[in-house]
Amino acid sequence: MYYCLEDTVTNQMFQVDGCRHRFCFSCMKQHTGVKLLHGMMPKCPHEGCDSDLKIDSCEKFLTPKLTEIMRQHVKELSIPVTEKVYCPYPRCSALMSKTEVLIHTNEVPWHDNVTCYQYKRLNPYPRPEEAKLKSLATTNLWRQCSRCNHMIELAEGCYHMTCRCGFEFCYNCGAQWKNKKATCSCPLWDERNILYEEDEDEDDFDDNEEEEFYHEDLEFY
């Protein structure tokens, strides 16, 4: 929760559309910024309230960068999971609409119009940058979604991962989760990945920390 409990004039507070809960702009900026930079779509911070925050209203206190991140989240949420297509180019992973899609049956221009499978057959040895990326992923214990090849890093929490493509799997071994249940015998979490002082950490958030939370999505084939 993000309540500073300071006395604030009513007309100088932010009012959430729909539920009409009020918070000071400082608390709203902190709440919204932390959620966005952790890959989540922020909602009203009032306990038990699920009212959506509107971009036009949040622009009053968000930086241009955070506003753009929020727009991307809204765009992603508006597209069904099965219809989402992401750019497979390393260090891009941008979400594309159907009119922007450059992929056809997994054929991409930088593979000279051959599928990834055919490309791998013709080029068994990875390019230097691909080898470095894979080495980096191995060093940092990143995991790759077996459905869409998106690279995922566990920052905190349990081993139950849900990729942006909707595929659920165990971060520890890669086994698929089915019907919200694990198909492996791995533990659900590691105590080292659990944060017990999250609220204290979030209170330290400011504009200069944006780069610490926001990471480029990585993929390789």
Tens of pLDDT, residues 166-186 = 889 998 888 999 888 889 988
Q: What is the pTM of this model?
A: 0.44
What pLDDT score was predicted for residue 18? 84
CATH number of 1-78: 3.30.40.10
pLDDT per residue as tens digits for the range 88-126: 555 566 666 555 554 444 444 445 565 666 666 666 666
Average pLDDT over residues 9-19: 83
- Strand ranges (E), 42-196: 85-86, 95-96, 143-144, 151-152, 160-162, 168-170, 177-178, 181-182
Q: What is the mean pLDDT of residues 62-76?
A: 89
* Domain limits, the chain: 1-78
Phi and psi at 196, nearest 5°, equal: -95, -10
Q: How far apart are CA 115 and CA 112, in angstroms?
A: 9
Backbone phi, psi, residue 45, to 5°? -75, -5
Rounded to whole angstroms, how far apart are CA atoms 76 and 71?
Answer: 9
pLDDT tens-digit series, residues 120-179: 666 666 666 666 767 777 787 788 888 877 778 887 778 888 887 888 999 888 899 988
Report which of 33, 44, 16 is spatially closest to residue 68, judged by C-alpha positions.
33
Decide if 158 is catalytic.
yes
Active-site residue identified among 116, 158, 165, 186? 158
Banded pLDDT at 85 (limits 50, 70, 90): low
Summarize the confidence of residues 215-220 as an average pLDDT: 42
Tokens 């991307």 label which residue?
A: 72
